Structure 1
Amino acid sequence: MNQPLRDDMDFRDLIGDVKPLPPSNRADPGANRKRPSEAQLARREWAEEEMGARNFLSDDFVDLLPPFDPMEYRREGIQQGVVDKLKHGGYSVQSQLHLLRRPLSECRRMLFPFIQEAYAHDLRSVMIVHGRGREIDSPANVLRSYLAKWLSQFEEVQAYVSAQSSEGGLGATWVMLRKSDRAKANNRERQQKRRG
C-alpha cells in the first residue's frame, strides 16, 4: 500500500464516523455582514465627490511620448544625484499603484488619492506600474504620456524616472515625493538629539 493511501485511511480512522451538517444548521458567512447605513452611504458618496472635486489632474490633450524613451523629471532644486539614485533603485518601494489595462479616467481617479495618501503617510519613494506599448498611440503609451503630465502637476512630486528593466522598465515609474512638514520636524528632532 502506498503512503498517501495509508495516510488517508489513518485520517479516516482518527475522525471516525462523520456526518455532514444539515443545511439549516450551516453558518452563512454573508449573513453577519451588516449593510452600510444610509448615513454611511451618504458619507462615502460625499467623500468620493469631494476627492473628485479636489482632483486637479488635467485630462486635456497631451503630447504623446515616444514609446521607447525613458521618462525623467526633476523639480528645480533637486540634485541630479537624487534622480540617479532613484533611477538605479537606490530607494526601496514603499507603496505601489497598478494601473495596467485600466481606462484613462479610472487611472486619473486612482492616481490622485494614491499620491495624496502616500504623502500624508510620509512615504518618499513609490512605484506606479502602468505598462508600455510598442506603438506611439497604444493605450499603455497614452497612459504613460498622461502620467508624465499628471505627476509634474503634483507639488508633492520631486522627481520621477522610468524603472530599471528588472523592475518593470518603461512599464513602471519610480516617483520621489518631498518630505512632509512632519517628517522634516522629526528629522530635525533626531539630529538635535544626536548632537546632544
Structure 2
Amino acid sequence: MSQTHRNDEDFQALVGDVRPLPKRAHRADPGRRRGAPSEAQLARRESAAAESPGRDLLSTDFIDLLPPFDPLLFYRDGIQVGVVDRLRHGGYPVQASLHLLRRPLEECRQCLAPFIREAYAHDLRSVMIIHGRGREIDSPANVLRSCLAKWLESLDEVQAFASASQADGGLGATWVMLRKSERAKANNRERQQKRRG
C-alpha cells in the first residue's frame, strides 16, 4: 500500500460522511440576493458613521508616560538628518508659540490641533510648544509632555518635533516643524524657476 493511498484513507476517515451544501445555501454566492438590513444593522451603521468623522486623534487613552529627563525626538521618513539636528539646536526661528504651562490636560488637547492647523494654513514652518516638565514620571507636566508626543505624531501637518535646547526652554518646550503647504511648495518652485532663468 502506497503512502498516497494511506493518506487518502486517513482523509476519508477524518471527514466521514461530509456532504456539500446545497447551492442556495452558499454565503459567498455573488448571485444571492440579500434582504434589507435589519434594524440592528442599521443602528450599528448609523452609530459607526456618527463616530468616525468626530473620531478624536488626540485621545488620552493608552499614553505611555515618558521618563521626565528623556528628550523628545520624532521625525517622519524622508526628513534629512541635518534638518532634524538644526531643529534640535534651535536653528529655525520661532514663528508662533503655544503656551500650555499649568493648563488642564483637556484644555491642552483642545488647543493643540487648531493651533497646528492654523499655523500650517498660514505657511508657518517652525513653532514652539511650551508645556513644562515635571521631575516625577506621573507629574501633571510630564503627563502633558507624554500626551503631546503622541498627539503631535498623529497630526499629518507635523513633520518633526524635538525637545528645545537648554537656552529655549530645554525639556519643558518642544520645537515642531510643520510640512510645507501646497501653496508654499508652489511658491518655492516658482522662485527656483526664476532663479534658473
Question: In the alignment, is the contact (CA less than 8 A) between 2:57 and 2:151 conserved in 1?
Answer: no
Residue 78 of structure 1 corresponds to which residue in structure 2? 79
Gaps in structure 2 of 5+ consecutive residues: 1-52
Offset at residue 80 of structure 1 (A): 1.1
Residue 180 of structure 2 corresponds to which residue in structure 1? 179
Query: What amino acid sits opposite 1:139 in the alignment?
Result: P
**Distance between the aligned counterparts of 1:63 and 1:55, measured in 2?**
18
Offset at residue 58 of structure 1 (A): 1.8
Residue 19 of structure 2 corresponds to which residue in structure 1? none
Query: What amino acid sits opposite 1:149 in the alignment?
Result: K
Residue 119 of structure 1 corresponds to which residue in structure 2? 120
Question: In the alignment, is the contact (CA less than 8 A) between 1:131 and 1:172 conserved in 2?
Answer: yes
Q: CA RMSD in A?
A: 1.3
Residue 133 of structure 1 corresponds to which residue in structure 2? 134
Question: In the alignment, is the contact (CA less than 8 A) between 2:100 and 2:131 conserved in 1?
Answer: yes
Question: In the alignment, is the contact (CA less than 8 A) between 1:160 and 1:173 conserved in 2?
Answer: yes
**Distance between the aligned counterparts of 2:176 and 2:132, measured in 1?**
15
Q: How does 1:38-77 map to 2 (within 5 A)?
A: 53=54, 55-77=56-78
Q: How does 1:1-196 map to 2 (within 5 A)?
A: 53=54, 55-196=56-197
Offset at residue 105 of structure 1 (A): 0.6
Offset at residue 56 of structure 1 (A): 2.7
TM-score (norm 1): 0.72
Query: What amino acid sits opposite 2:128 in the alignment?
Result: M
Question: In the alignment, is the contact (CA less than 8 A) between 2:121 and 2:181 conserved in 1?
Answer: yes
Q: What is the aligned residue count?
A: 145
**Distance between the aligned counterparts of 1:193 and 1:95, measured in 2?**
30
Query: What amino acid sits opposite 2:120 in the alignment?
Result: Y
Offset at residue 194 of structure 1 (A): 1.0
Identity of aligned residues (%): 76
**Distance between the aligned counterparts of 2:96 and 2:180, measured in 1?**
15
CA distance change for structure 1 residues 126 and 74 in 2, over 3 Å: closer, same or farther?
Answer: same
Question: In the alignment, is the contact (CA less than 8 A) between 1:55 and 1:109 conserved in 2?
Answer: no
Query: What amino acid sits opposite 1:160 in the alignment?
Result: F
Residue 49 of structure 1 corresponds to which residue in structure 2? none
Question: In the alignment, is the contact (CA less than 8 A) between 1:160 and 1:175 conserved in 2?
Answer: yes
Question: In the alignment, is the contact (CA less than 8 A) between 2:129 and 2:174 conserved in 1?
Answer: yes
Residue 33 of structure 1 corresponds to which residue in structure 2? none
**Distance between the aligned counterparts of 2:59 and 2:139, measured in 1?**
20
Gaps in structure 1 of 5+ consecutive residues: 1-51
Q: Counterpart of 1:118 in 2: which secondary structure?
A: helix
Q: Counterpart of 2:102 in 1: which secondary structure?
A: coil
**Distance between the aligned counterparts of 2:191 and 2:73, measured in 1?**
32
Please list every run of at least 4 consecutive aligned residues from structure 1 whose deviation after the TM superposition is greater than 6 angstroms: none
